[in-house]
């Protein structure tokens, strides 16, 4: 199945970090006191009121404003390193002094404009250049601060009201279980209730360590999800010098033997290098029913991959094809060699050996590598060998890091292999909509092939 979601675009300054038009104000008791042009003091109304899951929509409204009063809303969030992310938007209240972001479009002059109920979240940008929002500890929420200022000045007027909201990752009742079994270093998330549950192994991309947030959020929907580290974590190799599929085979067997995991097969989910590894696992290892790949390569990249007596060399790189902007940001989309030509053909993963179903999630503005080309070639290889046609969902305007819903798009950050900041591609608004739909597609894919029934989710695009 091949789908391209509708035309999505939003102008952005690619490769350049956005700056808010005004600095963070000093907090004083005078500023914190709510002020109003109407009889009732302004207040922020949120639904859910105090806490929501990060991938869930948050309804934001302001009441008690003056008729047609111009205001500026600002959202602030700090990650676990203390780095600040901010977004702002200009609005005008209705004749009744109410401002509902689901009904009132943002005016030009802020981080976004138009009718964008979740714009204050997806438009968050770091103050520190080339910094990506990542959740390290899923047991604690992100704290979102919302502020309402009078007027559209630069900087805006007095603070009218403010509120805090927790954006959580771990749903009540989900169990987080550290795994140190044999060589496996991972975190297992088990849903509440009586199992067994459909099992999924989740792999992140380059960077090493253990990122749990996607596995955790996915477990909230009834899956047993193992977030698997493969280097740079605890006693695993510090660097990705070479990878052995026997390690990943051990993780598959662990899941299949777990009393809370439903067989006969499991699912794989990976992004970037993790997606590529999922394809390799599906090609050589048993016990896999469904594999979802987010902007992955069908060729082995970055390091040697070994399994028993099989060795797959890394795809060649041509550094002269890397483009460097005046600001020093690299565009590496053309750096990899073509895995269909010459000796680089040895790097093409033999995915025709896989006995599972595939889903390719593709950001058509991915600047890490040519994800759409890889998905197309994977489709050709599978069909040429009489295998089931994969599902391919393409998103115009989406970049490389297609995350769970409402993570702000990372425009550029440091690349481990390149050694300098690279552009990841994407336009913020289109990328946000792609993340919402892709999350539904992934859940639907695993529900169909692991649970044997529809997910109950529907596309919002």
The catalytic site residues sit at 272, 366, 400
User: Who contacts 275 (Cβ-Cβ below 8 Å, separation ≥6)?
Assistant: 203, 205, 293, 294, 295, 296, 297
- Phi-psi category of residue 151: left, alpha or beta, with phi > 0 → left and psi -120 to 50 → alpha: left
Q: Using CA atoms, how far apart are residues 323 and 334, in angstroms rounded to an integer?
A: 9
Q: Using CA atoms, how far apart are residues 162 and 283, in angstroms rounded to an integer?
A: 53
- Pick from 294, 311, 42, 81: which is nearest to 159 by CA? 42
Q: Using CA atoms, how far apart are residues 113 and 278, in angstroms rounded to an integer?
A: 38
Q: Using CA atoms, how far apart are residues 417 and 161, in angstroms rounded to an integer?
A: 45
Q: Tokens 């009742």 map to which residue?
A: 173
Q: What is the DSSP letter of 135?
A: -
Strand extents, DSSP E, 304-441: 304-307, 310-312, 323-324, 330-331, 357-363, 391-395, 412-414, 421-423
User: Who contacts 140 (Cβ-Cβ below 8 Å, separation ≥6)?
Assistant: none
Q: Using CA atoms, how far apart are residues 427 and 430, in angstroms rounded to an integer?
A: 6
2-39 burial: b if 16+ Cβ within 10 Å, else e: eeebeebebebebbebeebeeeeeeeeeeeeeeebeee
Angle at alpha carbon of residue 139, lines to 133 and 141, rounded to 5°: 50
Task: With beta carbons less than 8 A apart as the criterion, state whether 361 and 293 touch.
Answer: yes
Task: With beta carbons less than 8 A apart as the criterion, state whether 22 and 155 touch.
Answer: yes
Q: Tokens 């529809």 map to which residue?
A: 454
CB neighbours of residue 366 within 10 Å: 25
């Amino acid at each position: 199945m091949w789908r391209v979601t509708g035309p999505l675009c939003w102008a952005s300054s690619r490769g350049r970090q956005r700056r808010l038009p005004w600095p963070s104000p000093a907090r004083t008791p005078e500023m914190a006191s709510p002020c109003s042009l109407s009889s009732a003091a302004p207040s922020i109304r949120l639904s859910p009121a105090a806490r929501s899951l990060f991938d869930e929509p948050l309804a934001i409204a302001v009441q008690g404003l003056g008729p047609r009063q111009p205001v500026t809303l600002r959202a602030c969030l700090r990650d676990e390193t203390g780095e600040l992310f901010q977004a702002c938007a200009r609005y005008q209240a209705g004749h009744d002094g109410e401002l509902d972001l689901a009904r009132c479009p943002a005016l030009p002059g802020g981080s976004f404009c138009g009718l964008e109920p979740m714009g204050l979240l997806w438009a968050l940008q770091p103050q520190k250049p080339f910094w990506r929002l990542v959740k390290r500890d899923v047991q604690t929420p992100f704290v979102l601060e919302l502020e309402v200022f009078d007027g559209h000045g630069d900087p805006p007027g007095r603070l009218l009201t403010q509120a805090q909201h927790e954006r959580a990752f771990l749903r009540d009742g989900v169990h987080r279980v550290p795994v140190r079994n044999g060589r496996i270093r991972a975190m297992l998330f088990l849903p509440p209730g009586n199992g067994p549950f459909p099992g999924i192994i989740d792999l992140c991309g380059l960077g090493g360590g253990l990122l749990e947030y996607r596995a955790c959020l996915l477990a909230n929907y009834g899956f047993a999800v193992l977030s698997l580290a493969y280097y740079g974590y605890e006693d695993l190799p510090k660097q990705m010098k070479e990878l052995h599929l026997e390690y990943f085979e051990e993780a598959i067997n662990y899941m299949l033997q777990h009393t809370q995991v439903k067989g006969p097969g499991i699912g794989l989910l990976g992004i970037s290098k993790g997606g590529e590894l999922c394809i390799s696992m599906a090609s050589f290892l048993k016990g896999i029913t469904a594999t979802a790949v987010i902007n992955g390569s069908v060729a082995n990249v970055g390091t040697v991959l070994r399994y028993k007596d099989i060795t797959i060399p890394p795809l060649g790189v041509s550094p002269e094809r890397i483009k460097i902007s005046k600001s020093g940001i690299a565009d590496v989309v053309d750096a990899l060699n073509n895995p269909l030509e010459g000796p680089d053909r040895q790097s093409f993963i033999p995915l025709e050996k896989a006995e599972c179903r595939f889903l390719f999630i593709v950001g058509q503005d991915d600047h890490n590598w040519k994800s759409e080309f890889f998905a197309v070639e994977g489709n050709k290889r599978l069909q040429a060998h009489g295998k089931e046609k994969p599902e391919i969902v393409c998103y115009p305007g989406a970049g490389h890091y297609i995350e769970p819903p409402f993570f702000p798009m990372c425009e550029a950050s440091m690349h481990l292999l390149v050694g300098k900041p690279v552009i990841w591609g994407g336009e913020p608004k289109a990328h946000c909509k792609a993340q919402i739909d892709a999350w539904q597609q992934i859940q639907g894919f695993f529900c169909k092939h692991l649970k044997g029934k529809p997910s109950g989710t529907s596309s919002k695009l």
